[in-house]
Amino acid sequence: MRIRKKALGDKNLVGARIEAVRRAQGMKQKELLAQLQVRGVDLNASALSKLEGQLRIVTDIELLAFAEILDVDVMWLLTGQENGGRT
């Protein structure tokens, strides 16, 4: 496991949560990239690394694919809370 050399960026809200869930599930970036490919999302390793580091924007199509693959709610990816924190 490599340690991130750069500080987190400010291009997205979801990257750090995607990385945390992926690691918690024991999934390697290569495995996530393969699952994205199956869903028609063409991302390379550099783009995924930048996305997780919040140095790249995320599209809505990518966001949905990440939520499905990682089995998490889209609102959790965006806010860190289920249902966007609404009651």
State how far Cα 43 lies from the chain centre: 12
What is the CATH architecture of 15-82? Orthogonal Bundle (1.10)
* Residue 78 identity: L
- Joined tokens for residue 75: 């609102």
Residue ranges per domain, the chain?
A: 15-82
Question: CA 23, 51, 13, 70 torsion: positive or negative?
Answer: negative
In order along its 87 residues, the chain shows pLDDT tens digits of: 566 567 889 999 999 999 999 999 999 999 999 999 999 999 999 999 999 999 999 999 999 999 999 999 999 999 999 875 554
pLDDT at 20: 97
pTM, to two decimals: 0.87
- The tens digit of pLDDT for each residue in 9-32 reads 999 999 999 999 999 999 999 999
